């Protein structure tokens, strides 16, 4: 093919000639500097920052320095400099303490020496192992600057449960692109299912099925938790289908509003459920909630096999002592939660690349085109709803069992947005991102905000005036701020899925005419 010679328009110009916008100009000028100057300036700035922070809080200054050091270490040539500096940095902490941080650093550096092709399985494995062993080393960990001590194991269970929910919501929002603002309804359904079938709520019945460690004469329905988790998932999934069937033909924002409506109605039913419409039916025990719930138990056989490591039931929990750590019932809940999360993540990953998962992505990217290619819209969307609901239900049931209670006050709209915020922060459609985002936000909600607040109140002061901010009070505003910042500056989230990022940056609309010049300059 030969070029005919004349190009119409300005396509021939190189892009660097027409740098528009203050930010881009600044960036271009920075990149024009010699590399040595750039590195020197950056290191100098980081040093100044570290010293400044050192005066606010010593450990924070050190932390900033270490983060900067780690960043530059990974830009050094592999041998001998990177290895040497890593050994020196680790050694410093191992000798002068905090020693636990030295160990963490050593493990971290070691993981990055694993060849790239093996990392895909080594890193997740290390993450799982690290979490599973968490109860053993949690007490021995160093204090993190600003965030304080490492979260305790109960917070770990909370985090895992919310990661499960976030992974579930990610199927609906991230894969299928259906905005669900009422995910809390699924959480509530799961929790109340667990509460109905593993407590004395229906005291006029007495039906035990596999529940361990209970007095057999105890009134109420008592089904073993293992079946109950599955049951809660299935019931919630059916509920999701029931909600989905009439609503899923609505598009985008209308669907969001309808789900929001369901998310508001359901908790109100729970709140008023102690005397439904004056009929005297006590379904949910109203604002007092249903408590206590039966707990986990592994049965005598399993307990004997593991030498008492897994408790037969929670009345006898726990008499095992492993690695100098007295096993608590919370630890067992933590491990079971890890197991559940692994199943969830496995299913979610398998779904993502299945025929169904690809259909979800097609619908998300262009519904009309997907329908034209023969994808049954309603059925595919309903499956997304059902799968998302299933995991929400399991997580809700498990959390109710862990807390041994279900209160209607747990199911506010805030929780829906909180879970949505996890998905958005981490990166819609990317499991790793969602897990990281969810873990971080759940931690913030449970301990992090309180710790950060007390850090701010003690360390930041103007003369002798200390602020007295109740940071956890403003949790929802902080999530709102996170949502706003992420949507404006990095809509694909912290750890994006590449496909989703492309979508969000290109936009799925046609660009509007009047704004084309402006949009072109921004991109």
Partner 1 sequence: MGITGLVFVVALIVLLVKEFTVSPSQFAQATLIGLTNGAVYALIALGYTLVYGILELINFAHGDVFMLGGMFTITFATHFFNLHHGQGFAIIPIVFATLILTMLACGGINAAIEFLAYRPLRNAPRLAPLITAIGVSFIIEDIGLAWKGPNYITAPDVFPHSNVFSVGGVNYQWNHLLVVIITVPVLLALLWLVQQTRQGKAMRATAQDQDAAAIMGINVNRTISFTFLIAGCLAGAAGTLYALWATTVRFDQGFQLGLIAFTAAVLGGIGNLPGAVLGAVTIGLIQSWNEALPWHMPGSDWTESIVFSILILILIFRPEGLLGERTPEGG
Site for partner 1 (CB under 8 A): which residue of 40, 80, 124, 507? Answer: 507
**72 contacts: CB under 8 Å, gap ≥ 6:** 43
152 vs 367 by CB, closer to partner 1: 367
Distance of alpha carbon 4 from alpha carbon 25, whole angstroms: 35
- Using CB under 8 A as the binding rule, whether residue 54 contacts partner 1 is answered as no
Alpha helices in 57-178 (DSSP H): 58-73, 83-96, 99-112, 116-132, 134-137, 153-170
22 vs 514 by CB, closer to partner 1: 514
- Using CB under 8 A as the binding rule, whether residue 261 contacts partner 1 is answered as yes
Size, binding site for partner 1 by CB under 8 A: 55
Site string for partner 1, 180-199 (x = CB under 8 A): -x------------------
Nearest approach, Cβ of residue 464 and partner 1 (Å) = 23
First to last CA, the chain: 32
Half-sphere exposure of 4 (CA within 13 A, CB side): 3
- Using CB under 8 A as the binding rule, whether residue 417 contacts partner 1 is answered as yes
Contact between 64 and 56 (Cβ < 8 Å): no
- Using CB under 8 A as the binding rule, whether residue 312 contacts partner 1 is answered as no
Nearest approach, Cβ of residue 190 and partner 1 (Å) = 20
- Using CB under 8 A as the binding rule, whether residue 143 contacts partner 1 is answered as no
Nearest approach, Cβ of residue 420 and partner 1 (Å) = 7
- Using CB under 8 A as the binding rule, whether residue 253 contacts partner 1 is answered as yes
Contact between 348 and 171 (Cβ < 8 Å): yes
Half-sphere exposure of 496 (CA within 13 A, CB side): 15
Q: Would you call the peptide bond into 98 cis, given omega within 30 degrees of 0 as the criterion?
A: yes
Nearest approach, Cβ of residue 466 and partner 1 (Å) = 17
198 vs 260 by CB, closer to partner 1: 260
Contact between 425 and 219 (Cβ < 8 Å): no
- Using CB under 8 A as the binding rule, whether residue 503 contacts partner 1 is answered as yes
Where does this chain touch partner 1 (CB under 8 A) — which range of 44-52, 154-162, 217-225, 475-483? Answer: 475-483
Site for partner 1 (CB under 8 A): which residue of 420, 425, 438, 501? Answer: 420
- Using CB under 8 A as the binding rule, whether residue 482 contacts partner 1 is answered as yes
- Using CB under 8 A as the binding rule, whether residue 264 contacts partner 1 is answered as yes
404 vs 476 by CB, closer to partner 1: 476
Nearest approach, Cβ of residue 245 and partner 1 (Å) = 10
Q: Is 290 helix (H, G, I), strand (E, B) or coil?
A: strand
- Using CB under 8 A as the binding rule, whether residue 487 contacts partner 1 is answered as yes
Per 3-state DSSP, the chain is made up of helix, strand and coil in percentages (nearest 5) of 70, 5, 25
Dihedral sign from CA coordinates of 164, 169, 172, 173 = negative
Secondary element (H or E) of residue 321: strand 321-322
- Using CB under 8 A as the binding rule, whether residue 444 contacts partner 1 is answered as no
Nearest approach, Cβ of residue 16 and partner 1 (Å) = 24
Contact between 171 and 393 (Cβ < 8 Å): no
Where does this chain touch partner 1 (CB under 8 A) — which range of 116-124, 150-158, 224-232, 252-260? Answer: 252-260
Distance of alpha carbon 257 from alpha carbon 263, whole angstroms: 10
- Using CB under 8 A as the binding rule, whether residue 265 contacts partner 1 is answered as yes
Pairing type for strands 321-322 and 206-209 reads unpaired
Where does this chain touch partner 1 (CB under 8 A) — which range of 20-28, 152-160, 241-249, 311-319? Answer: 241-249
- Paired tokens of 394: 């399991």
Strands (DSSP E) contained in 128-228 are: 206-209, 220-223
Residues contributing to the site for partner 1 (CB under 8 A): 177, 179, 181, 246-247, 249-254, 256-258, 260-262, 264-265, 268-269, 271-272, 277-278, 413, 417, 420-421, 424, 473-474, 476-484, 487-488, 491, 503-504, 507-509, 511-515, 519
């Amino acid at each position: 093919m030969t070029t005919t010679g004349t190009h119409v328009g300005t396509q021939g110009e190189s892009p660097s000639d027409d740098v528009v916008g203050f930010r881009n100009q600044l960036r271009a000028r920075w990149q024009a500097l010699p590399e040595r100057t750039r590195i020197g300036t950056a290191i100098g700035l980081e040093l100044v920052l570290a010293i400044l922070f050192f005066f606010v809080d010593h450990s924070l200054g050190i932390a900033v320095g270490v983060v900067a050091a780690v960043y530059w270490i990974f830009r050094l040539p592999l041998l001998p400099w990177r290895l040497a500096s890593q050994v020196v940095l680790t050694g410093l902490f191992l000798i002068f303490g905090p020693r636990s941080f030295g160990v963490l650093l050593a493990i971290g550096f070691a993981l990055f020496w694993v060849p790239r092709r093996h990392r895909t399985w080594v890193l997740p494995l290390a993450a799982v192992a690290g979490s599973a062993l968490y109860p053993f080393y949690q007490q021995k960990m160093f204090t993190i600057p600003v965030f304080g001590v490492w979260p305790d194991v109960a917070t770990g269970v909370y985090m895992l449960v919310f990661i499960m929910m976030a992974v579930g919501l990610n199927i609906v929002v991230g894969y299928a692109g259906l905005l669900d603002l009422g995910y809390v309804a699924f959480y509530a359904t799961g929790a109340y299912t667990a509460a109905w079938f593993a407590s004395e709520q229906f005291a006029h019945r007495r039906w035990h099925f596999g529940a361990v460690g209970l007095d057999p004469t105890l009134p109420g329905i008592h089904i073993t938790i293992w079946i109950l988790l599955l049951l809660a998932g299935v019931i919630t999934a059916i509920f999701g289908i029931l909600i989905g069937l009439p609503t899923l033909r609505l598009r985008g924002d209308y669907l969001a509003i309808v789900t929001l409506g369901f998310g508001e109605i359901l908790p109100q039913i729970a709140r008023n459920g102690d005397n439904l419409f004056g009929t005297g039916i006590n379904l949910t025990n109203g604002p007092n909630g249903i408590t206590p719930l039966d707990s986990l138990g592994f049965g005598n056989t399993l307990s004997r096999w593991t030498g008492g490591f897994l408790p037969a039931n929670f009345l006898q929990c726990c008499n095992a002592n492993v690695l100098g750590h007295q096993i608590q019932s919370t630890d067992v809940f933590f491990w079971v939660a890890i197991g559940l999360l692994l199943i969830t993540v496995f299913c979610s990953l398998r779904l993502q690349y299945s025929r169904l998962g690809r259909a979800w992505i097609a619908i998300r990217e262009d519904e009309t085109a997907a329908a034209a290619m023969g994808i049954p819209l309603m059925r595919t969307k309903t499956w997304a709803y059902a799968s998302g609901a299933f995991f929400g239900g399991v997580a809700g049931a498990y959390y109710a069992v862990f807390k041994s209670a279900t209160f209607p006050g747990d199911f506010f709209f805030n929780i829906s947005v909180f879970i949505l915020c996890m998905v958005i922060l981490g990166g819609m459609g990317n499991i790793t991102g969602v897990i990281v985002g969810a873990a971080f936000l759940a931690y913030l909600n449970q301990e992090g905000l309180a710790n950060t607040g007390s850090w701010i109140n003690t360390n930041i002061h103007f003369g002798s005036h200390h602020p007295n901010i109740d940071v956890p009070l403003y949790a929802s505003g902080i999530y709102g701020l996170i949502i706003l910042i992420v949507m404006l500056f990095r809509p694909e989230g912290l750890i994006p899925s590449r496909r989703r990022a492309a979508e969000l940056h290109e936009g799925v609309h046609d660009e509007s005419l009047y704004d084309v010049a402006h949009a072109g300059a921004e991109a």
